[in-house]
């Protein structure tokens, strides 16, 4: 498995029930940037697949989302890492699109654009919908307890996925 697909909010950056709506509100989780850098330096391709219904709800613009992603990628690059691509769903749940997780559209888009064998990929998320999307394409799902991860574990006590405190802890396990 040489491809890693990360959820964004709650995995790479602090999540907010009020949405992350600006570049200033986009705050990296301690050690997540370092984790991405370590994965890249170990030969993994790192991708991001993120639901961003705040666009569809009118909380922030596509331009603001792109500025947040620029900040994220810049921090990763400064740390010696690389995010190969970012796929996002701008839709609300009511739009019933094919890309919004738990559907696998974002993962399939990344796979098509970058020749990813999803059955050999690792998907790391903090919510059940991230893991359900991974299951649909035969990817290996890992849960992190940052973001909504604690709540996800409490609501689903018998989850069949490896669970890690943080992306950094998951990375240490992947690289060991």
Whether 57 and 93 have beta carbons less than 8 Å apart is answered as no
Is 9 an active-site residue?
A: yes
Q: Which residues contact 102 (CB under 8 A, 6 or more apart)?
A: 128, 129, 130, 132, 133, 136
Q: Partners of 164 in the beta sheet?
A: 144
Beta bridge partners of residue 85, listed in sequence order:
47
Catalytic residue among 3, 9, 126, 130: 9
Interatomic CA distance for residues 146 and 95, integer angstroms: 28
The beta strand positions in 39-161, using DSSP E, are 45-51, 85-89, 122-125, 140-144
Active-site option among 3, 7, 126, 130: 7
Q: State yes or no: is 95 an active-site residue.
A: no
Q: Catalytic amino acids?
A: 7, 9
């Amino acid at each position: 498995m040489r491809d890693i697909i990360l959820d964004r909010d709650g995995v790479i950056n602090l999540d907010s029930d009020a949405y992350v709506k600006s570049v200033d509100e986009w705050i990296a989780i301690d050690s997540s940037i370092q984790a991405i850098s370590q994965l890249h330096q170990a030969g993994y391709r790192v991708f991001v697949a993120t639901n961003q219904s705040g666009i569809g709800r009118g909380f922030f613009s596509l331009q603001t989302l792109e500025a947040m992603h620029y900040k994220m990628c810049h921090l990763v690059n400064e740390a010696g890492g690389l995010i190969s691509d970012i796929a996002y769903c701008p839709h609300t749940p009511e739009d019933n699109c094919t890309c919004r997780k738990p559907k696998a559209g974002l993962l399939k888009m990344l796979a098509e654009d970058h020749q990813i064998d999803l059955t050999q990929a690792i998907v790391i998320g903090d919510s059940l919908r991230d893991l359900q999307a991974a299951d649909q394409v035969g990817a290996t799902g890992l849960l992190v307890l940052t973001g909504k991860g604690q709540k996800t574990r409490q609501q689903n006590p018998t989850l069949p996925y490896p669970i890690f405190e943080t992306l950094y802890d998951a990375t240490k396990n992947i690289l060991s």
